[in-house]
A and B are shown apart, each in its own frame.
Chain A
Amino acid sequence: MFNKTEEKIIELLNSLASSFILVYKTIISCFMKPFETNLVIYQMVGIGLRSLPVTILTSFSVGMVLALQAGYSAMYVFNEPLYVGTIVTFSIIKELGPVLTATVITGRVGAAITAELGTMKVTEQIDALYTLGTNPVKYLAVPRFLACITMIPILATIANIFGVVGGFVVSRYKLDIPSTVYWTDTLDFLKIDDFFHGFIKSVFFAAIIAFVAIYKGFGTKGGAEGVGKATTQAVVTTLVLILVIDYFLSALLVALRIG
């Protein structure tokens, strides 16, 4: 009836429509009783504990390498390492804190959500939930969504702190910049808006991670192999979406004079 291209387009439109329906249903269900508070807390703790070490490690390393690069580049141009604190802090707080945290958590949490929900789907556990009178969106999607959207911005904030501290360690002990200079460079130019700029972005990234992971999990087909495929797809889709949307969000926030 249709040729291959048309079929692909129809398929794409279908999945777009069904993903928007899922987003809509999940958000609506957040406000409907009964509130599954225990499940939300359980997910929040799970996400927090699972991601905290890796978040700290990556942000600390990135802070260090940023200071190193900024320091040596400045020395090359000005003969001394100027504004290292400023460069590190702005890069981390507005960009790398949120984006790197989101990236790492996509692999850690997003993948786990898709694999878990996908397994539940192919073993008919989600259908069993439904026939026992439970709404899968309410019981499975909402707690994961709420946990992501609260914990990921918190983790990004923690990443900001460790990134700046990582930058400090390199500035102080490798570049021999006095502590007061680093911290003055850091704090003098920083406005609360810069923090919000990154924070707001990480809320959006959290929503992307949660929705893609849940959508791919619920849509899993074809046994254990299908779970593997869905998980890979979820991770790749999330990463691409985060990096693409990052630009537009940043531009929008700048236009709104937030950071």
Chain B
Amino acid sequence: MIKIENVHKHFNENYVLRGVNLEVKDGETLTIIGGSGSGKTVLLRHIVGLFLAERGTVEVDGINLGAVREHELHEVQKKIGFLFQDGALFDSLSVGENVAFGLRYMNLSEQVIHKKVSECLMHVGLAGIESVRPSELSGGMKKRVALARAIARDPKYMLYDEPTTGLDPIFSDVINELILDLQKNLKMTSIVVTHDLKSVYKVSNRIAMLLEGKIIETGTPDEIKNSVNPSVQQFINGSSKGPIKLKIKEYQE
């Protein structure tokens, strides 16, 4: 279980997270929705230890990430697969080496690693491209390779940062199917960050909305659709009119 309690994070004058509370139960797929720049990525990064909470706690299976040493943190990280927004593939390494990267630190034989890599690539529908360089791949393929790399260590938790953003509708659906597939067949617990509503309704068991540094509402897709909160309604209806105003300050940099 992942338990996020009262988490705060700011950059200079930009108070991004202002007391986030969220629980993710084992086996569920939780989607976090919220506008661009609302702090969704920042929140995900706290779960995998890339940011430490300034205030509040992030617990993964009872381990408080802010209170452990680096090697203990790496043990927790082994349970977590992270799909970065733009894939973050290592462009100095081949696709196969990319997928194998996290396995190298697990005392596995070369043979086992090799087998695992081709399995994972098969899983994302890209069997046999081990020797290709990431620079030769299209955006959608990069994302799928990144997904293969993230699932290679059989993580208990999968975090997806905007898995479908920037992909065409068909590719988006391929990714959605992959998420559903991992959830059903590998029983992964997933947290999906997205503002692609089609994707939200397709994959979620539960939805949480992040606004102004807080989770303002959580519920099943039906509960969210019928929410009485005007901000939630505005977001899921995609309207420019409502309580959520664009914060111009953010774009001043």
Q: Which residues of A are at the interface with B, using a C-beta cutoff of 8 A? A: 120, 123-125, 127-135
Given A125-B91, A128-B90: A133 and B77 within 8 A (CB)?
A: yes
Least distance between A26 CB and chain B CB atoms (Å): 16
Check B84–A127 contact: CB distance below 8 A: yes
Check B102–A123 contact: CB distance below 8 A: no
Least distance between A67 CB and chain B CB atoms (Å): 43
Which A residues are CB-close (under 8 A) to B86?
A: 123-124
- Interface check B10, CB cutoff 8 A: no
Q: Which residues of B are at the interface with A, using a C-beta cutoff of 8 A? A: 45, 48-50, 70, 74, 77-78, 80, 82, 84-86, 88-91, 101-102, 105, 149, 153
Q: Which of B45, B85, B91, B101 is in CB contact (< 8 Å) with A132?
A: B101
Q: Which of B48, B49, B50, B90 is in CB contact (< 8 Å) with A125?
A: B90
Which A residues are CB-close (under 8 A) to B153?
A: 132
Besides A128-B89, A132-B105, A134-B101, 19 other CB < 8 A contacts? A123-B86, A124-B84, A124-B86, A124-B88, A125-B88, A125-B91, A127-B84, A127-B88, A128-B88, A130-B50, A131-B49, A131-B50, A131-B82, A132-B101, A132-B153, A133-B74, A133-B77, A133-B78, A135-B70
Check A128–B84 contact: CB distance below 8 A: yes
Q: Which of B70, B77, B91 is in CB contact (< 8 Å) with A131?
A: B77
Closest to B50 in A: A127
Of residues B45, B86, B89, B90, which shows the largest number of chain A Cβ atoms within 10 Å of its Cβ? Answer: B90
Least distance between B68 CB and chain A CB atoms (Å): 14
Which B residues are CB-close (under 8 A) to A124?
A: 84-86, 88
In the docked arrangement, what's the CA distance between A132 and B83, Å?
11
Which A residues are CB-close (under 8 A) to B78?
A: 133
Least distance between A12 CB and chain B CB atoms (Å): 16
Which B residues are CB-close (under 8 A) to A132?
A: 77, 101-102, 105, 149, 153
In the docked arrangement, what's the CA distance between A134 and B153, Å?
14
In the docked arrangement, what's the CA distance between A36 and B82, Å?
25
Least distance between A130 CB and chain B CB atoms (Å): 7
Check A131–B80 contact: CB distance below 8 A: yes
Q: Which of A120, A129, A131, A134 is in CB contact (< 8 Å) with B48?
A: A131
In the docked arrangement, what's the CA distance between A130 and B52, Å?
14
Closest to B12 in A: A7
Query: Which 9 A-B pairs rank lowest in CB-CB distance, beginning with the nearest?
Result: A132-B102, A124-B88, A128-B88, A133-B105, A133-B74, A124-B84, A131-B82, A125-B88, A131-B48
Closest to B82 in A: A131
Check B77–A125 contact: CB distance below 8 A: no
Least distance between B13 CB and chain A CB atoms (Å): 10
Closest to A1 in B: B13
In the docked arrangement, what's the CA distance between A132 and B149, Å?
9
Which B residues are CB-close (under 8 A) to A127?
A: 45, 50, 84, 88
In the docked arrangement, what's the CA distance between A135 and B106, Å?
15
Which B residues are CB-close (under 8 A) to A129?
A: 90, 101
Check B84–A133 contact: CB distance below 8 A: no
Which A residues are CB-close (under 8 A) to B89?
A: 125, 128
